[in-house]
Structure 1
């Protein structure tokens, strides 16, 4: 463990900001949001002061490019996906105390203030460098929008900043055979001026912070990737970019430049905290500047270096912020044996899952936790999803609860019975129950969420085994007093499950608490001495912005005592009335799983057809000019294209290519100079109807003023051909729309 073993006064938990160019899928959930939410819920249940923040990452070239593709504004893109992501999180029960967005005014100001402070302290260096430039898109390429072959391991799909195969940090200019992901073209280099954070100045700090202080408590994948970066030699990293969408660089002489998204995005955690504090009337600074605060970043492995090397260096340069105590990054989750892909629609989208499996949030939470990619890439399959539900949640957890509640109503009209003497098995079972809080806590404190989820299921197994061994349905015929004790013990296990399942299965926990009649509030029938199973909390009674509903997600007026499960007092006292049984989980039928597999098969077939078509088309048309920069519909409507007739034609003197044409456009007769003399004689084109761009600005060519453009193309043999109107008898001047 790290040397600092002080008990924290509070916890600040962050979850990686999802990029608002698409919805959330199961890879995001498994890698970041489910483990972060489990941890936050657990800490709240143990009485800790917890702030769990997140938000949407809304800057960067991908946003502007998607906006151009869809013919809308970047603001429309981020609004669409921010709202979809935020709503999906709420419906899924991710309990952010605040979910913000980097387009918010508070974030723009916070990120700008960071830059200005570091700029004023001479923490940046200014350099003019040659960067990769996409001539088709007419813009510089951010690192993530260049792919090529890794110069260190030979992996063919490395990004411009990092190779996901070997984990090496890269420079886009070092890639072998680089290619723009925006247009597919080969980029050129072009000089531009930017500000850089000289990471090499922070090498000693990072070696102490990571390689010494956290050598033993950070996950091997996190520590190893950081060590590779540091040992490989730290170099200055740009904190500005040539883009038209983002936070403008707040210094003179930086027109047309914005803050690099990986400079401003992590600062989004701080601005989200400020937003929360403003709304709640709280002070944000202790959550980021008090050494007694424990800061934990939940991220995927592709974000390790940004959160562990670059962001800490920024905070260190600023001078008054705490650093992350841990960064428990997960590996990647695959889907049915293939890498998740947003562009290929190979994903299980959260918003679609919530529509197709209503009220089954906990089944997905449990499956993703039980199969979490904590130490290696793991695979999600629909059959495995079905098995986790039917064989564990239904057959073990749900079966135990149903038997306990049904039998309590059958024998005692729903009243917790008064136990008689405890047998050795009763005592052993209750003692085992009391150990589960510590066991599960130990796993969660070490960020082993998969292990913790299985310990929770072991508690349900304990209850099932106890009932199966003691057989109250048989014993009741000969020893009613003994059955009272059996049911009393079983109800204690059920109550323990209601408490300990909340971080993992919050919707199930709420339903179970309702069945057991664990009412919220300051006065309950569950008082045992000075303790209450449910005790009043100072937390506001309304759900914070960005969380799910109070009733179904988290009891914000009530804090359930995690520790009480470990105490010797009974959790449910004799005489307490419970409610009727209801099913916690339903069985998932084969037909439902086949429908999901069929959907994936259709996606795979569609991708295969598209890939084959693209390959065939590329082979057949490999000499075609690449697509030009995307234009908007408004740009297109400015073109005035009409039908015209060539009245006169003559070759321009002293040229082989140009021909001077007189064209009747219906509006007038005008001169157009066209480069067609190598393909046609003057005599053969007189009288031809042609398509003419009539509102092109006049242009002087060899002394002749050209007042438009004839639209032409090449046939398969490379010969120029006129783009004639399809129908006979089209009048000059008719527009082409």
Structure 2
């Protein structure tokens, strides 16, 4: 690099505060939840989780090196939702084959859609078949035995729903009723959790009904292993206090976790007060709190045991009540046949893992599987999950905060051999970073493939939009702050022909603005400079804006503020285009070759910066730009983010760009959008 240019760049860099740049780990694991194996990917999977996880993983690969990032996910193959769906399809003769055939069929469809959306995942595995299933069984056995040996399991006998017509125990989705949790808006409550993820004891489900016979089931005793989640209250409170001091932890995550750290509560309607008073001498000690203008009051208990005893007494007297959110023992096992078998502990055999706990440690299994494919040694996974030099980033939907934010964190702490802490030492399972997104609403209503509102599938959207248009739009939806409405014009019956398509707002930045800048740069170089970028000093103001944008982009990515990133890039890319239009017009009108060269020098620097920053968001188009710049993969390296495009050329004076044919687009529109 010319010494004068280097001094000028250093002077500009010194004028920007780079002392507080965010710190990223040496190694990172990124996960994206696990879609159930009973259907293909829906809108929420791609738009609410996978796009964000993939964008962050791609950024980290550029930021800390692709060899230092592992992105894993997989199909959640087990659980009653899958076995029940499979049973229904076989019963209606819509599917032939085994249940494993069924999940393999859906796994293949899920993987196809991920590829179509350019989700660059190191391993998309499955929990019930392939090498990943073998490792997952090993990890599951080791995990429960570790929890048992450390004294964090309880053997609890509870009542389970039993269908007397069919003489079978009912699991999960085979029972439907009304969620007993106060204030829950779920449309369906299942055996021990509702569709919004609230946990409760089966006996508390309101108006239960068997989905197999349609009859009201009875309760029969079963014995299972439970994790003592309620004993981790103090540690989880400390963990939340720690999260509140972290600049990149979303407030909604903390707020939801806190809801479950409240004391055990029962809500009773005020018109039931006389009945409650009639059994005062039998109830355990509690404090009565009036909810003012609400129709119920709260019975607040010191511990869960007292609350559960009170629940039984209230139920005996037919007093209507609901329980509040609080920590309860977290069930690990069940008797559903379709599940990961559990090891024999204290002579209790023939159990399988409940799907939620085994899905929480499944990313560890998948990491081990991926490293095993690379012929790494068996304990290599610990460098990624148990090292202070590594971080785990888990992208989830807000419905699953209970499982990841409470159960997973407590179980990971429970694997520690010494005094439990929220700051595990080297070699212990580290606590992951959770990035929770709110719901994507379809036409202003909650989108659910099993609900009344049927949104298009992720695959169907690609009949009207390109993957990069959709990726950009999903990132711009502000899901880190609130639920947002997805309103694709082709699927909106209320949309008028004259109306613009909201989904194309962010995509137009690519297909119209950035595409125009890139094409203009290449075609102008081909017309006037024999396919070579003129060499010269980049304007101070252009360098300054690029550095500011780079630093802000890095800060926003650290905080997972994807929607703000899209706003930042909108401003930056449009400024590049404005500078081009304004200055090149003057150069052409005055036939000013010197000005034309300067405009090109500045525009290519802006294009270089925009291309690197947008690489994680729109990988296909940006990779095409790099290809036509005739530069290698070092172009993406964030260790060189402040360097100019000339620094990647062996000889800038002689470096030729790849020839761009007429009417070739770097960022393409979907064929249906071309009139």
Question: What's the TM-score bracket when you normalise by the shorter of the two chains?
Answer: 0.7 to 0.9
> Matched residues in 1 for 2:519 and 2:212: separation?
55
Name the SS of the counterpart of 1:327 in structure 2: strand
Shift in alpha-carbon separation, 1:27–1:569, aligned structure 2, 3 A: closer
Deviation at 1:385?
4.9
Shift in alpha-carbon separation, 1:316–1:146, aligned structure 2, 3 A: farther
In structure 1, the gaps of 5 or more residues are 521-532, 535-559, 594-737
- Residues paired across the two proteins, number: 545
> Structure 1 residue 411 and structure 2 residue 528: aligned?
yes
> Matched residues in 2 for 1:476 and 1:488: separation?
19
1:229 counterpart residue number? 260
Contact 1:415 1:577 (C-alpha < 8 Å) held by counterparts: yes
Match of 2:638 among 562, 572, 575: 562
User: Hey, which of these two has a bigger chunk of helix by percent?
Assistant: 2
Name the SS of the counterpart of 1:79 in structure 2: helix
In structure 2, the gaps of 5 or more residues are 1-21, 91-96, 264-325, 417-426, 490-500
> Matched residues in 2 for 1:145 and 1:414: separation?
68
> Matched residues in 2 for 1:476 and 1:57: separation?
63
Deviation at 1:156?
5.4
> Structure 1 residue 398 and structure 2 residue 515: aligned?
yes
Contact 2:468 2:617 (C-alpha < 8 Å) held by counterparts: yes
User: What's the CA shift string for 1:267-287, capped at 9, x where partnerless?
Assistant: 111111111111113322111
> Matched residues in 1 for 2:262 and 2:75: separation?
33
The structure with higher relative contact order (CA 8 Å, sep 6+) is 2
1:428 counterpart residue number? 541
2:573 counterpart residue number? 460
Shift in alpha-carbon separation, 1:463–1:182, aligned structure 2, 3 A: farther
User: What's the CA shift string for 1:584-608, capped at 9, x where partnerless?
Assistant: 2344577799xxxxxxxxxxxxxxx
Deviation at 1:183?
6.2
> Matched residues in 2 for 1:66 and 1:369: separation?
32
> Matched residues in 2 for 1:498 and 1:62: separation?
43
2:470 counterpart residue number? 364
Name the SS of the counterpart of 2:556 in structure 1: helix
1:14 counterpart residue number? 31
Match of 1:209 among 214, 227, 239: 239
User: What's the CA shift string for 1:55-82, capped at 9, x where partnerless?
Assistant: 1111111222222222232101111111
1:119 counterpart residue number? 148
Match of 2:343 among 250, 260, 263: 250
2:113 counterpart residue number? 88
1:63 counterpart residue number? 82
User: What's the CA shift string for 1:4-45, capped at 9, x where partnerless?
Assistant: x97633112222011111111221122211111111111110
Name the SS of the counterpart of 2:125 in structure 1: strand
User: What's the CA shift string for 1:680-724, capped at 9, x where partnerless?
Assistant: xxxxxxxxxxxxxxxxxxxxxxxxxxxxxxxxxxxxxxxxxxxxx
1:296 counterpart residue number? 393
Contact 2:34 2:73 (C-alpha < 8 Å) held by counterparts: yes
Aligned-CA RMSD value: 2.8
Name the SS of the counterpart of 2:28 in structure 1: strand
Name the SS of the counterpart of 1:58 in structure 2: coil
Bigger Rg, structure 1 or 2: 1
Contact 1:34 1:369 (C-alpha < 8 Å) held by counterparts: yes
Contact 1:492 1:570 (C-alpha < 8 Å) held by counterparts: no
Contact 1:130 1:189 (C-alpha < 8 Å) held by counterparts: yes
Deviation at 1:214?
4.3
Name the SS of the counterpart of 2:449 in structure 1: coil
Instruction: Give the TM-score of the pair, scaled to structure 1.
Output: 0.69
Shift in alpha-carbon separation, 1:77–1:9, aligned structure 2, 3 A: same
Name the SS of the counterpart of 1:328 in structure 2: strand
Deviation at 1:364?
1.1
Deviation at 1:96?
1.7
1:519 counterpart residue number? 632
Shift in alpha-carbon separation, 1:389–1:225, aligned structure 2, 3 A: closer
Shift in alpha-carbon separation, 1:484–1:251, aligned structure 2, 3 A: same
> Matched residues in 2 for 1:223 and 1:61: separation?
30
Deviation at 1:162?
5.3
Q: How does 1:649-728 map to 2 (within 5 A)?
A: none
Contact 2:525 2:533 (C-alpha < 8 Å) held by counterparts: yes
User: What's the CA shift string for 1:628-676, capped at 9, x where partnerless?
Assistant: xxxxxxxxxxxxxxxxxxxxxxxxxxxxxxxxxxxxxxxxxxxxxxxxx
> Matched residues in 2 for 1:280 and 1:484: separation?
48
Name the SS of the counterpart of 2:156 in structure 1: strand
